[in-house]
Structure 1
């Protein structure tokens, strides 16, 4: 009987092809690599840094504008970080001269992870410096200090409209000075802080005889001394005068007629037309 010779398959081991064996080894390695990557990720998540105990302060709004003599408010919040607990007080630095700060309430007590709010009231006066001012707010609890929360305050000058008139206390003559009583008319319902008064000669009106004779007389023949009293002073609502305000006559404006040969005839009987101006702010 004829026997057909058996063919042998190369690279066999116990009947399993070597190619299948290599594929099985590759598949076996994959879960091991994935497991290593997963283990590394877990280790990273476990190393989160701890947040130090502290206080975070914020200001709202960050800026305010107001007129001299007015008040404004800011909301200040304090938040516990890193598990901080305890009382917190507040301070503000950088406000302009003449401005004051008040806190309501004066302090708060924070629990872990909680937030509390206080109100900062900034008050100005009529003499508070005008301009933009950067300031900072901080919270503190013993040795624990918060961040510095920035803010800005813009103080604006307030001017009020009022009327000024005046009358000389007697007639002028060469070498003679006369005080000038000023009347102030305040249309506001509140008093005005007067910060400046000025008197000037607008025109010198000569007599027809002086004009016909071509005799000169001008503002150069007179001398003005301005008000020398203290500024600011309060002018109440309605009409008032330097006399009613208690200003000594020595502080009133003065008009002096010079004594020269040229003005003896030209300024005789002349009329002075005066102008008055001033500035004032709301009280």
Structure 2
């Protein structure tokens, strides 16, 4: 029996060692490539830009009043130069102004301006979302959201009226309105209306069973301009400069039916309107 050791064992061990070295090289290469890729990404330059913020994001005000926001503009990516603002989405009758109207940004710097939003007495009472943007040359900022809540302000006032002349079949008469403002500030009056609530016949018409109802009359509502600015005290449509052609009118129809029941009748009129504080 030959007891000499086999010569193939060292070659087997050597094969295992080479396999392990090759595996290590395969594992190391992706890690090195990943490190090189990360280094290249971190060297990319950030584009110049502007970031805008609004503070506070929401304000509440009464109709006819104004409020303010603070607008901040920040330079990013090394942007420098003048910046102006654009406000969009405000409700009807609302206005916006920025002071100062232009900001000069330095690289990485922040500057602030005051945004004043005013409402009209006719601005709808509601919550409205609006936006603020800044621009400098060809650079446009992000969109900063804001919200404006407008509250309705009502004022107590009185409305009365008088018919200019007597009514008869086929005759139309204007109604002169008087508006009483008991406060110490002017009010803006809108939505004036007149209605006939009752026709009061004479005792003779009632005894003779002669009819007369609201169906014998036609009402034409106020058609003048709104709002009517009414100072403290009593003001008529004439004193407010409203031509008679815009006043309410009452017309008695001329019908084939007997209308003797309307002779001497009294019309009870009801007036209404809306008044907002200026």
Cα RMSD for the two superposed structures: 3.5
Q: Normalization by structure 1: what TM-score? A: 0.78
Would you say 1:279 and 2:274 are equivalent positions? Answer: yes
Contact 2:211 2:259 in 1 (8 A): no
Find the aligned partners of 1:220 and 1:241 in 2 and give their Cα distance: 28
Please give the alpha-carbon distance, in whole angstroms, between the structure 1 residues aligned to 2:153 and 2:264. 42
User: Is residue 245 of structure 1 aligned with residue 232 of structure 2?
Assistant: no
Paired residues, number: 276
**1:180 maps onto 2:175 in alignment:** yes
1:120-131 pair list within 5 angstroms: 120-128=115-123, 131=126
Asked whether 1:113 is paired with 2:108, we answer yes
Residue 51 of structure 1, aligned match among 46, 51, 56:
46
User: Who is 1:21 aligned against?
Assistant: none
* Structure 1 pair 46–161 and aligned structure 2 pair: CA distance change class (3 A): same
For residues 19-42 of structure 1, what are the alpha-carbon distances to aligned partners after superposition, in whole Å with 9 as ceiling and x for unaligned?
xxxxxxxxxxxxxxxx99x98998
**Shift of residue 87, structure 1, vs aligned partner:** 2.3
- The change in CA–CA distance for 1:108 and 1:266 in structure 2 (over 3 A counts) is same
* CA drift at 1:120: 1.0
CA-CA distance at 1:131 after TM superposition = 4.3
Shift of 1:70: 1.9
1:204-244 superposed Cα distances (whole Å, 9 cap, x missing partner) = 11122222222211111112122222222211122111122
Distance 1:106 1:126 in 2: 26
CA distance in 2, matches of 1:51, 1:222: 77
Q: Structure 2 vs 1, CA of residues 167 and 47 (structure 1 numbering), >3 Å: closer, same or farther?
A: same
Task: Determine the C-alpha separation between the residues in 2 that align with 1:211 and 1:61.
Answer: 69
In structure 2, what is the equivalent of residue 199 of structure 1? 194
Shift of 1:260: 3.5
Is the 1:221–1:263 contact (alpha carbons within 8 Å) kept by the matching residues of 2? no
CA distance in 1, matches of 2:255, 2:87: 63
Structure 2 Cα separation of the partners of residues 186 and 65 of structure 1:
27
Contact map agreement 2:90 2:129 (CA 8 A) in 1: yes
Corresponding residue for 1:165? 160
Q: Does 1:91 align with 2:86?
A: yes
Equivalent of 2:139, from 134, 144, 169? Answer: 144
Unaligned runs of 5+ in 1: 1-34
Aligned to 1:221: 216
Query: Residue 255 of structure 1 corresponds to which residue in structure 2?
Result: 250
Greater CA drift, 55-64 or 260-269: 260-269
User: Which of structures 1 and 2 has the bigger CA Rg?
Assistant: 1
Per the normalisation by structure 2, the TM-score is 0.79
* Distance in 2 (alpha carbons) for counterparts of 1:218 and 1:134: 51
Q: CA deviation at 1:44?
A: 7.5
Tell me, yes or no, if the aligned pair for 1:203 and 1:274 is still in contact at 8 Å. yes
Structure 2 stretches lacking a partner, 5+ long: 1-27
Q: Matches of 1:151 and 1:265 in 2, distance apart?
A: 66
Secondary structure of the residue aligned to 1:179 is: strand
